[in-house]
């Protein structure tokens, strides 16, 4: 698989990578650097991304010696995104990658790629249709590399992100049809930061309404969360009046 991926970079020397700092895009960035490609990372900064993600992106690109272009945008100015319809992910993804395409063209007409892998399905990722429409390349997917394979290869390469939990944008915490506001996103980010500080690693704080949040954990952390429920409620009390615990384990790849 690595040889196939290496061939992609030999055929596409000038690369613009949509970079999130996650397991997939970090491995892809590493592979591009190893192949000798002229790669530049692009990060679209908005209220949909938590601060730690931006910090991770800056840290990793600096470590790899890769130029980073930060594109700042206010996604909530777009009513079709702010009102959070069923197709919000598609609309948002198209807007974000259109911004990257514009910048990549200014920077020498670079080939835009992303970290979609072979484990990602269209049912789970509605924004993937936008990638196809915009002709965004997904080398990991095209090479047939699954999430588990990418984690193994990342570990072998010594990448610290090999076991990093997947993290979707903050807007995914707001139920379809509910207007997305900066206040709601801030409540989610603050609450999730507190849970990280308490030692939890892979979870979601879902909005039920402006006063109520539902917490979803993996099986290994549900028992701990139940035992520490009083501490969790106290920690999240500044953001939410009501904190619910979903006893059904959340799904993850």
- pTM for this prediction: 0.94
Tokens of 81: 């995104």
Alpha carbons 204 and 78: distance in angstroms, whole number: 25
User: How many alpha carbons fall within 13 Å on the CB side of residue 92?
Assistant: 28
**What is the pLDDT tens value at each position of the chain, 253 positions in all?**
555 898 999 999 999 999 999 999 999 999 999 999 999 999 999 999 999 999 999 999 999 999 999 999 999 999 999 999 999 999 999 999 999 999 999 999 999 999 999 998 765 567 888 999 999 999 999 999 999 999 999 999 999 999 999 999 999 999 999 999 999 999 999 999 999 999 999 999 999 999 999 999 999 899 999 999 999 999 999 999 999 999 998 876 4
| All domains of the chain in start order, with CATH | 2-163 (3.40.50.620), 181-245 (3.30.300)
Kindly report the backbone phi and psi dihedral angles of residue 180, in degrees, each rounded to the nearest multiple of 5, phi listed first.
Answer: -90, 125
How many CB atoms are closer than 10 A to CB 3? 7
Alpha carbons 233 and 238: distance in angstroms, whole number: 9
In eight-state DSSP terms, residue 77 is G
Alpha carbons 74 and 81: distance in angstroms, whole number: 10
Alpha carbons 41 and 161: distance in angstroms, whole number: 17
User: How many alpha carbons fall within 13 Å on the CB side of residue 160?
Assistant: 7
* Lateral strand order in the sheet of 68-72: 68-72, 38-45, 14-18, 111-113
């Amino acid at each position: 698989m690595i040889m196939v991926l290496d061939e992609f970079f030999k055929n596409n020397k000038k690369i613009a990578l949509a970079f999130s700092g996650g397991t997939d895009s970090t491995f892809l960035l590493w592979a591009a650097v190893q192949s000798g490609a002229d790669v530049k990372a692009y990060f679209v900064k908005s209220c949909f991304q938590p601060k730690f993600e931006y910090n991770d992106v800056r840290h990793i690109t600096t470590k790899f010696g890769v130029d980073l272009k930060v594109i700042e945008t206010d996604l909530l100015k777009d009513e079709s995104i702010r009102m959070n319809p069923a197709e919000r992910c598609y609309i948002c993804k198209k807007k974000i990658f259109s911004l990257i395409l514009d910048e990549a063209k200014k920077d020498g007409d670079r080939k835009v790629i992303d970290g979609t892998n072979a484990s990602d399905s269209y049912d789970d990722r509605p924004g993937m249709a936008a990638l196809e429409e915009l002709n965004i390349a997904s080398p990991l997917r095209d090479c047939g590399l699954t999430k588990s394979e990418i984690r193994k290869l990342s570990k072998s390469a010594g990448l610290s992100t090999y076991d990093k939990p997947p993290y979707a944008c903050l807007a995914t915490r707001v139920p379809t049809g509910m207007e997305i506001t900066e206040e709601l996103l801030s409540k989610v980010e603050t609450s999730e930061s507190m849970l990280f500080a308490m030692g939890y690693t892979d979870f979601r704080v879902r909005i039920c309404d402006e006063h109520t949040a539902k917490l979803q954990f993996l099986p290994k952390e549900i028992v701990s969360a139940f035992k520490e429920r009083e501490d969790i409620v106290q920690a999240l009390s500044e953001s939410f009046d009501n904190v619910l615990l979903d006893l059904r384990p959340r799904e993850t790849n």
